Chain A
Amino acid sequence: MVSAPSLTAQLLNGFAAGLLLISFSMLSQQRTRRLIALFAWQGAILFASTTLVAYSARLGHLYFSAGLTLVLKVFVLPLVLLRLIRRLEAQWDTEPLINIPTTLLVGVGLVIFAFGLAQPITALATTITRNTLGIALAVILLAFLMMITRRNAVTQVVGFLAMENGLFFAATSATYGMPMVVELGIALDVLVGVFILGVFFFQIREQFESLDLHHLESLKED
C-alpha cells in the first residue's frame, strides 16, 4: 500500500463521500420533509469541510463563507422551507416521474461521467482538495437530475439549493473558494431566490390548486 495521505486530506475525502451519499439519499427520498432535513445535513457537511479547508490552507475569508453556510444552509433556509411546506400543506410528496431505482441507476452513470470530466482538471490543480472536484461535479449533476425527475415545486427548489451546495463545494475544492464579494452576492441571491420562489408557490397553488408543475406546461387552458 502507498503511504497514507494526511489526516486532513482523508477527512476531506470522507466529507466529500458524505456529500455524495446525501445526494443519493435525496434522489431516493420521496417525502418533502425528509428531503429538507437531508438538505440541512448537506449544509452541515459543507460547513465542516469548508472550515477544515480554511484551517488547513490558513485562509481567513473561507471561515466567513463557512459561517455563512452554517447560518444560511443549515438553519435559515431549511426552517423557511419547512414553514412553507407546513403552510402549503405539501409535506407528503408525489410520485417522481421515473421510478426510484432507475433514477439511481442514471445517478451512478452521472457519477462516472462527473469523475471522468474532473480527471483532467484534477491533474492540473494544486489544492489539497483537488481529489474531491469529481464528487462536487457529481453532486451538481445529481441535483440537476433531481430537478428533472420531480414535478413538485418545493422539491425542485430543494434541488436547486442542493445544486448551489455542489457549486460551492466545487469552488472550494478547485480554487479554495471564490472572492468574498462573489460569495456574499451568491448567498444573498439564494436567500432572495427562495423567498421569491416561496411567493411563487402560493401563486401556483392558488392558480392550479396543487404544486404539480406539469400544470405550467400548457400556455392556455383549453
Chain B
Amino acid sequence: MSRLALARQLGELLLAVSLAPFLVGWVAQCRAWLQNRTAPPLIQPWRMLRKLFLKDAALAGHASALFRLAPYVLFGTMVLAAAIIPSVATDLPFARAADAIALVGLFATARVFIALAAMDIGTAFGTMGARREMMIGFLAEPALLMVLFNAFLLSGSTALPSVVEHLAAPPFVIYPSLAFAGVAFLMVLLAENARIPIDNPATHLELTMVHEAMVLEYSARHLALVEWASGLKLFNYACLGFALFVPWGMAARGAGTTGLLLAVPALVGKLALAGAGLAVVETLSAKLRIFRAPEFLAMAFLLAVLGLLVHLLLGA
C-alpha cells in the first residue's frame, strides 16, 4: 500500500465525516423550504454537534458499559463503512478489503449495538424503539442484499470498486434490471435512515418514534456521536446509491490529482441533488402506520427480485 493511496483514503474519510452533517442540514433545509418554513442554516447540524460535545454527559444510574460503548461502536462502524464505499475514487486500499456483503454486515452490527443499548437502560420507550428497529432492519436487509445482487450480477463481482468501474465504463448501456433495483434501493434507504414513510426524524410524538425512541436516553457527547453516525449512515447510503446507479463522475483507477479534484465537486453536486430529492419524497408522502412497514419493505424486496428476474430472463 503506497503512501499516496493511504493519503487518498484518509482524505476520502475526512471528506465523508465532514460532509455528512452538511447533508443532514441540506435535507432539513430543503424540507423547510418545501413546507414554507424558514429554513435552518446549512451549518445547523455542526452547531448542534459542537453544543453537544461541550455539554456534560448524564447517564442513567443502571447504565452498563454497553450503553456507553454503543455510540463509539456505531460511529466507528459508520466511518469504516464510509471507507469501504467508494465515494470519490474507486482506487482506495480500504475499498478492496471488504465487499458489499460485508458492508451489509457492518450496517447490521451497528444496528444490533444501538438496539442493545436502547434495551440496556430498561425504559419502555427504548425497548419499543429497539424492537421496531429490529423489525424494520430484518425486513430491509434482504431487500438491500437483493438490490446489491442485481449490481453484482451485472458486473460479475461483489467488490464495490469493480461494480463502479464496470457500470461507469464508456459504452453506455441501459440496464432495465437496475431500474427495479433503484426503486427498491430508494425504499430501503427511506426505511433504514428513519425517513418519512417509515419513521419521522423530526417527531416529538413518542408513540410513533423508532430511531428517536432508541436514543432518548443519550445526552451530550454520546448523543453527538449517535447523531453524527446517523448522518454518516445517510451519507453512506447515498454514496452506495451513487456507486450502483449513477457511477459517473467518480475518479477511476489511475486518475491523477486533477481527476480526484474534479470528483469532489461531482460528489457534492450528486449529494445536493439526492438530498433535494429525498426532501421532496419526504414532503410528498405521509408516514405509514408501523404495521404497514412490512408491506412497504416486502414491496422493496419483490422489486429487487423482479430486477433479478428481468436480468436473468431478458438477458439485459
Q: List residues of chain A with CB under 8 Å of any chain B CB.
A: 4-5, 10-11, 13-14, 16-18, 20-21, 24, 28, 99-101, 104-105, 107-108, 111-112, 115, 131-132, 134-135
Contact = CB atoms under 8 A, between A and B. Distances in A.
* Range of interface residues on B (Cβ < 8 Å): 20 to 34
A4 B171 contact: yes
A109 to B, nearest CB: 10
Contacts of B142: none
Judged by DSSP, the binding face of B is helix
A28 B299 contact: yes
A48 B63 CA distance: 61
A158 B316 CA distance: 30
Contact of B309 (A5, A14, A28, A108): A108
Interface of B: 171, 173-174, 176-177, 179-180, 183, 294-295, 298-299, 302-303, 305-306, 309-310, 313-316
B295 A101 contact: yes
Contacts of A100: 295, 299
A84 B177 CA distance: 36
Given A24-B303, A28-B299, A101-B294, A17 B315 contact: no
Nearest to B169: A1
Given A10-B173, A11-B174, A20-B310, A108 B180 contact: no
B314 A111 contact: no
Contacts of A112: 309, 313
Nearest to A11: B174
Contacts of B174: 10-11, 13-14
A17 B309 contact: no
24 contacts: A4-B173, A5-B316, A11-B174, A13-B174, A13-B316, A14-B174, A14-B176, A16-B314, A17-B310, A17-B314, A20-B306, A20-B310, A21-B179, A21-B306, A100-B295, A100-B299, A101-B294, A101-B299, A101-B302, A104-B302, A107-B302, A108-B306, A115-B309, A132-B314
Nearest to B176: A17
Contacts of A11: 174
B299 A16 contact: no
Given A17-B310, A28-B299, 17 more contacts: A10-B173, A10-B316, A13-B174, A13-B314, A14-B176, A16-B314, A17-B314, A18-B176, A21-B179, A100-B295, A100-B299, A101-B294, A105-B302, A108-B309, A134-B313, A134-B314, A135-B310
B310 A108 contact: no
A163 to B, nearest CB: 19
A8 to B, nearest CB: 11
B313 A115 contact: yes
Nearest to B303: A24
Contacts, number: 66
Which of B174, B179, B180 lies at the interface centre, i.e. has the most chain A CB atoms within 10 A of its CB?
B174
B298 A104 contact: yes
Contacts of B183: 21
Contacts of B313: 112, 115, 134
Contacts of B316: 5, 10, 13, 131
Contact of B180 (A10, A21, A28): A21
Nearest to B302: A104
A24 B310 CA distance: 13
Contacts of B302: 24, 101, 104-105, 107-108
A123 to B, nearest CB: 12
A13 B305 CA distance: 17
B304 to A, nearest CB: 11
A34 to B, nearest CB: 12
Contacts of B179: 14, 17-18, 21
Nearest to B298: A101
Contacts of B314: 13, 16-17, 131-132, 134-135
Nearest to B314: A131
Given A4-B171, A104-B302, A17 B295 contact: no
Q: Which 3 A-B pairs have CB atoms at the shortest separation, nearest pair first?
A: A17-B176, A101-B298, A115-B313
